[in-house]
Amino acid sequence: MTERAINFGAGPSALPDSVLEEAARGLVNFQGTGIGIAEISHRSKEFTAFVSNLESLIRTQLDVPPTHKILFTQGGGTGQFSAVVLNMLARHRLLHPNLTDEERFMDYVVTGSWSKKAAAEARRLGGGKVNIVAESSHSIPSHDSFKFSSDPALIYYCENETVDGVQFSHEPSSPASFPFHLLPQNTLLPLVADYSSSFMSRKIPRLADHAIIFAGAQKNIGPSGLTIIIVREDCLVDVDAAAKLGAVPVPITMAYKTLADSSSLYNTPSTLPMYMAGLVLERSQELGGVQYFEELNKRKADKVYSVLKEGEAKGIFHGKVKEGSGSWMNITFGVLGEGAEAKFLAGAESRGMKALKGHRSVGGIRVSLYNAITEEQTDQLVAYMREFITENAS
């Protein structure tokens, strides 16, 4: 395990050393079967037991109620941009078969690149009208700007915007929290949340009120290639019956009911990424679960935001996100002065700290502090940032 860099990348991203060591053994021999994890049948008793354990690790740590299934699939968050629309439109069609597409609304909260892309996909697929509930960049929109439809097919938000570094606050009293109190009064809210880049990094507020929560694994819990969906049972609808009523047809691998009816084994899943996610979550459980990571991640983020503020005061750094709306997972900032960003990145690289360059669409610096980044690694970055301030302050 020598010569490992500190990987602050936004995803695929760092995984714990101990998990990589265990996975290397599993590649050759999975649970003493004499067959490696990438080679074993997804229908073998060993693998199905592993999947059921993976499900329960998530259920226990996030306190997922029995009203909700946990599903595993492929295709990432982008695949779910389509799947949530198709399944929720089918559900709405069965509930309200006579509405026209113009009368069927899909409510989107746009807080950055990913929610914008998700709304664009809903528009592409048709079958309903996209209503932008609220929109802002570099901050969470103020509560009074949210305009929900009265009975939409879905209400969509992205809890953490990986590219922009914007995240909803989990303090209900914060102006940057999600305005749950403004939602339409409905016992079965069609609330959909993209938790891709914060999944398992902290508790999920009002989880039970969500229809669907989805996440790609490649941020906090594993390699890319695995998507996790938490879905309330009333959203496991007969998409074929809905299609007969005029809903957009749903490819079979995207139909939540099909996935649920087969315990996520309708077709061959991505077994190796699932295995590694299981190892990561077993380790999390031993460390104290999501509560442990919530505290750790808050400390890590506080440290970086604090040195960022120092740098801002000295005219060295420029935070990109409004205070209170800043992400714990992805902290975005600029380095002021010509060539200063390249200099900052080169200095980090020479100290073994990698992948700090911001997303190609926005530039700047992005520090991703997913679960596998330790407090010590964060301290090394903070020390370097402080050093950079001192050296460059005039």
Near a copy of itself in 246-275, by CB under 8 A = 248-249, 251-254, 266-273
Single out the residue of 67, 96, 97, 126 in contact with a copy of itself (rule: CB under 8 A): 126
Interaction residues for a copy of itself, span 270-299 (CB under 8 A): 270-273, 276
* Cβ nearer to a copy of itself, comparing 115 with 392: 115
Q: Cα–Cα distance between 108 and 119 in angstroms, integer?
A: 6
Applying CB under 8 A, does 125 fall inside the site for a copy of itself?
A: yes
* Cβ nearer to a copy of itself, comparing 62 with 272: 272
Binding mask 169-208 for a copy of itself (x = CB under 8 A): ----------------------------------------
What residue has token string 């809890």?
Answer: 159
Single out the residue of 149, 177, 224, 374 in contact with a copy of itself (rule: CB under 8 A): 224
* Cβ nearer to a copy of itself, comparing 37 with 189: 37
Binding mask 355-374 for a copy of itself (x = CB under 8 A): x----x--------------
Q: How far is C-alpha 86 from the geometric centre of its chain's CA atoms?
A: 20
Binding mask 227-246 for a copy of itself (x = CB under 8 A): -------------x--x---
Residue 342 Cβ, how far from a copy of itself at the closest point, in Å?
A: 16
Taking CB atoms within 8 Å and a gap of at least 24, the contacts of 171-179 are 172/205, 174/324, 175/140, 175/142, 175/143, 175/324, 176/139, 176/140, 176/322, 176/324, 176/325, 177/140, 177/205, 178/205, 178/206, 179/143, 179/146
Q: How far is C-alpha 324 from the geometric centre of its chain's CA atoms?
A: 19
Residue 352 Cβ, how far from a copy of itself at the closest point, in Å?
A: 7
Conformation bin of residue 102: beta by default, left when phi > 0, alpha when psi is -120 to 50: alpha
User: For residue 303, what are its two tokens?
Assistant: 């440290």
* The one-letter amino acid at 268: T
Rounded to 5 degrees, φ, ψ at 33 are: -75, -15
Interaction residues for a copy of itself, span 42-81 (CB under 8 A): 42-44, 74-79, 81
Helices then strands, each counted (H, E), the chain:
10, 14
Q: Cα–Cα distance between 269 and 278 in angstroms, integer?
A: 14
Binding mask 9-38 for a copy of itself (x = CB under 8 A): xxxxxxx-x--xx-xxx-xxx---xxxx-x
